Structure 1
Amino acid sequence: MAYVSKASPSGAPVSGYVKLSQAQLSPQEHTQLLQRYLASISSILPNDPDLLRSVLWHPDLHDGNIFIHEGKISSIIDWQSVWTGPLMLQARTPRLINYNVDIMLKLPENFKELDNGEKERIRDQVSKSIQLYIYEHGTGRRNPLLNKARRQPFGKTLAQLVDFAGNSWDDDILPFRDCLISLERNWSELGTTNPCPFHFSEDEIRQHHEDGEGFNETQDFWDSVEGIVDRSGWTTPENFDTAVDYFSKLREEGLRTLTGEERQDFELQTRRVLRTVSQGKLA
């Protein structure tokens, strides 16, 4: 918080290709949210010492950072920024198998009557559903403590709150603020006898919704390039030329159509594409 409070607004990182909100550029906005976070976090952690035990946890397991050799895991990479912290805040379903759509464990009776596109979609849904089912039931049998931590009320929200608190200046202030608003709204359901130590006014919530419009545009942008480049700027060697071509054309189109301050911001945000060929990374 001391670092953010002394930071210059012009030093705020650039995120995505949409103009940043004024809140993102304001050290005061960040420190105000951090103060609310610090005032509340001690009241909402559980008292169960098992859930508060410190563990080392890889936060982002997926098929791009797990290496397999002869049918066994030989290496796991991308441990940067990993920290030891309470199990309650660390436990989560790996992105490798995380699935948030309706669970379907078997093919429907009319499967043979569907067109090829719908068959492929349903096969994918069933496959991911089975993977999640096996993971959850296997975890319940082999690691009941982890299973208990994963199923704590508002556990995911609390974990996100801690993550966003440490990254709002580098990533985006909107998810952090959204978690705090949700925390105040659901405070009575957390099982604590302490009153919520902060309050968001109607004006603050209105401004949050207005800022969220730009945030959603950024998310839509990254969704549109899924399969070409991920949100960290990483792409596969096979997709590298496609990614460079896409972002180069995006830069050319933006510089051709935008004007004034918006064009200046866009030029700064997309300048990095000029260095990607030598660096091998986008973002």
Structure 2
Amino acid sequence: MSLSHLTNRRRTDLAQPFPADWNSHDEFFCYTRGRFITNESHEMAIRHVKFNMNELAKCAAKSIGPDSAHCVRIDKFPDGMFNKTFLFTMDNGAQVVGKVPNPNAGRAHYTTASEVATMDFVRSKLGTPVPKVLAWSSKASENSVGAEYVIMEKVSGLQLDKIWPNMDIKERFELVKTISGYQKSWMSTSFSQYGSLYYSSDLPDCDECTLSKADGSEVKEHGFSVGPSTGREFLDDGRMALDFDRGPWDTVEQYKTAVGLREIACVQNISELPKSPVSLYGPGTYRPSRSKKTAVLESYLRLLRFFLPLDRSISSSYLWHPDLHAENIFVNPERPAEVLGIIDWQSSELLPLFDHAREPYFLDFDGSYSGSLNPPQLPDNFDQLDPVEQGKAKSLYLKNSLVTLYRKFTLAKNETLFKAMDFRRSTSFEMMLLAQNLLVDGESLYLSRILQLQDEWSCLPGVSASGYPPFPIQFSEAEAASINKDSTGAIRGMEIMRQLKESLGDLWPEKGVVRSDQYDQTKERLKQAKTELIDRLSRSEAERAAWEDAWPFDE
């Protein structure tokens, strides 16, 4: 995952003449991209990994081939949230990239093993430009480095985010068509199971996977197997440490059921419920509780079969890139529509097509698109707007134009993907999507949505297929009133958090982190904002104490 507002593309210059003790550079092992506003010691600890850099440098040199090659320079790329990545330069000028996962990247062995197998499959079987893996180890105890690692080819070209702002809409659309072509190739092969992909040698208890080709034929793919999911939703917010069904699953209903059971297991067993990133809960707002989260998830499980689409083509299992943003796409700077490499396949999953089928992140789509295939229009009062508002209107117009072109092209060239994208706009998809993160937030609004669902019941896919059974969940008037009250409180909590975020502007700690040079300023501004918020919202000492307790940031 990227934090674009923290991006600093200058590599850390730690070059020294060979021979050198690379282990003496603490920066290699620590998170150095920014500072965390809350629980910083913990956040830094889960992003600190100590390993033998001297040995990793040797592995990097050996991966190139000649015994005479020696590593003479190591540059650290800006930290990601889950990995550390380095550029190794040899005395013969050759360069390779090395990647070491942080403790928070995923479960030992599985995350690295799946990433490597996925890169191989996408590169060799699906024809996508992915860097070739030259050496790797998913078992820290069995290598000289003392950590899991992947060494791969260095991708040529430039990251898309460096040139995207200067590309006109024609160039951008040409790139969109290129990416759409790769998506088409990813859809040339579906899998018989849901989970994540591995080499069969890394999953001795699993059978080799069965693939369905575009012509309807089924074949065994020798050397590859489907195993436990490495998706972030099975790892983040304390989930990684708990035991629950991680797959693989044979049907989409089994997979979506496992999601609900996963959230219930985490709600009931995690030591402390995660704080919401979008709401501030205090007096007069909704207050999360384990019992309400569990009850809502049980309702989701009762309704699930009615949400699933009848069209199996959009619920079949496909392999997809999990984070197709501009920093993960490398292009030819002379011909930006030519993609030279797509990186960061960690946490890739084999999921229903409707879970994959969203507009690529590099389109900078913010959800404001109407869904129409008609060309967007500038506001009628555009000429009366001030320059700042005109700039915003033009930016939104360009984004929506590009999204419209993408959707039109997808409809013309890849109708099944378009149908999956259309399903994502349905109530059914909304109800499945929101259930995936109820450990963290959203149970009050989810229950309110169930209350409204009675009016849409006959339109759900599984209802007509089941002969239009009655709505399976009944609410008394008192229960409905309580649900509406909780929903109103949740919306108020979200509005308070929105106002807080707006008041901080560029200092807002996205994902809890800010640039190091903004840390002190952000802390001071949050302190001021806290005082202002408590003074504005509190009507008693008890309420002041409650807002103090609800404040999500460290002093």
Give the TM-score band, short-chain normalised.
Answer: 0.7 to 0.9
Listed as ranges, the matches of 1:62-211 within 5 Å are: 62-63=325-326, 66=328, 68=330, 70=333, 71=336, 72=339, 74-75=341-342, 83-94=349-360, 96-100=364-368, 105=376, 115-152=386-423, 155-191=425-461, 192=463, 193-201=468-476, 202-211=480-489
Per-residue Cα deviation, 1:138-157 (whole angstroms, up to 9, x for no partner): 222332211011113x7443
TM-score of the superposed pair, with normalisation by structure 1? 0.73
Shift of 1:30: 1.2
- Relative to structure 1, the CA distance from residue 135 to residue 251 in structure 2 (aligned partners, 3 Å threshold; closer, same or farther) is same
Say if 2:315 and 2:354, in contact at 8 Å, map to a contact too.
yes
Which protein has greater RCO, CA pairs closer than 8 Å, 6+ apart? 1
Say if 1:92 and 1:156, in contact at 8 Å, map to a contact too.
no
Shift of 1:40: 0.8
Per-residue Cα deviation, 1:9-34 (whole angstroms, up to 9, x for no partner): xx333225722588643222111111
Per-residue Cα deviation, 1:194-240 (whole angstroms, up to 9, x for no partner): 32211344323432343233333334433554544365324456765
Say if 2:500 and 2:529, in contact at 8 Å, map to a contact too.
no
- Relative to structure 1, the CA distance from residue 61 to residue 208 in structure 2 (aligned partners, 3 Å threshold; closer, same or farther) is farther
| Residue aligned with 1:232, SS | helix
- Relative to structure 1, the CA distance from residue 23 to residue 170 in structure 2 (aligned partners, 3 Å threshold; closer, same or farther) is same
Asked if 1:14 is matched to 2:275, the reply is: yes
Shift of 1:89: 3.7
Q: Distance in 1 between matches of 2:495 and 2:510?
A: 14
- Relative to structure 1, the CA distance from residue 113 to residue 198 in structure 2 (aligned partners, 3 Å threshold; closer, same or farther) is closer
Per-residue Cα deviation, 1:167-208 (whole angstroms, up to 9, x for no partner): 222233234324423433311222422322113443234323
| Residue aligned with 1:186, SS | helix
Q: Distance in 2 between matches of 1:248 and 1:156?
A: 42
Shift of 1:45: 0.9
Shift of 1:49: 1.5
Asked if 1:38 is matched to 2:301, the reply is: yes
- Relative to structure 1, the CA distance from residue 118 to residue 141 in structure 2 (aligned partners, 3 Å threshold; closer, same or farther) is same
Which amino acid counterpart does residue 53 of structure 1 have in structure 2?
S
| Residue aligned with 1:151, SS | helix
**Number of equivalenced pairs:** 269
Report which of the two has the higher share of helix. 1
Q: Distance in 1 between matches of 2:542 and 2:330?
A: 49
Shift of 1:87: 1.8
Say if 1:59 and 1:94, in contact at 8 Å, map to a contact too.
no
Report which of the two has the higher share of strand. 2
Per-residue Cα deviation, 1:109-162 (whole angstroms, up to 9, x for no partner): 99677643343233223212211122111222332211011113x744333322
| Residue aligned with 1:46, SS | coil
Which amino acid counterpart does residue 183 of structure 1 have in structure 2?
L
Identity value in percent: 23
Q: Equivalent residue for 2:267?
A: 4
- Relative to structure 1, the CA distance from residue 188 to residue 273 in structure 2 (aligned partners, 3 Å threshold; closer, same or farther) is same
| Residue aligned with 2:512, SS | coil
Shift of 1:100: 1.7
Q: Distance in 2 between matches of 1:2 and 1:224?
A: 37
TM-score of the superposed pair, with normalisation by structure 2? 0.41
Q: Distance in 1 between matches of 2:346 and 2:455?
A: 34
Question: More deviation in 189-198 or 262-271?
Answer: 262-271
Q: Distance in 1 between matches of 2:485 and 2:304?
A: 24
